[in-house]
Amino acid sequence: MPELFHDTTTAAVFSAAKLNKINLYESHRLFCDVYCLEPGQSQSEHSHTENDKIYHVLTGRCEVSVGDDRRDLNAGELAVAPAGVVHGARNVSSERTTMLVIMAPHPGMKG
């Protein structure tokens, strides 16, 4: 059985090479990751035809794009990217940023 309880304040592991994704939970219904972004790191804009995604900033500040809208989100704020809408995230600040990212249904698992 997967771990069912997590402390997001200690889950972050950063990489100088690129955005790091720490998986907390996944099933065929959803996945839940902590994204760890050093200053300047980003997730390229993309879309998912059948999957909704939530970006929730835990620490720091991050620019999130959803469709034609771009917003700087601070800790405690979130953005929702509905299925089919182009979205992405970029750490434009000078500090490390962590985000809780949830997507449903899981794009890589069926059944």
Is 6 among the domain residues?
no
pLDDT exceeds cutoff 70 at 111: no
Query: Confidence band (pLDDT; 50, 70, 90) for 107?
Result: confident
Determine the structural domain holding residue 66 and report its residue range: 23-104
pLDDT of residue 58: 98
Is 28 among the domain residues?
yes
Query: Confidence band (pLDDT; 50, 70, 90) for 2?
Result: confident
Reduced to 3 states (helix: H, G, I; strand: E, B; else coil), residue 87 is strand
What are the φ/ψ torsions at residue 64 (nearest 5 degrees)?
-120, 135
Is 40 among the domain residues?
yes
Q: Can you list the positions of beta strands (E) in 9-96?
A: 20-26, 31-37, 42-46, 52-59, 61-66, 69-74, 78-81, 87-90
User: Total structural domains in the chain?
Assistant: 1
Is 92 among the domain residues?
yes
Q: What is the pTM of this model?
A: 0.93
Q: 35-84 pLDDT, tens per residue? A: 999 999 999 999 999 999 999 999 999 999 999 999 999 999 999 999 99
Is 17 among the domain residues?
no
Is 12 among the domain residues?
no
State the CATH number of the domain containing residue 28. 2.60.120.10
Is 110 among the domain residues?
no
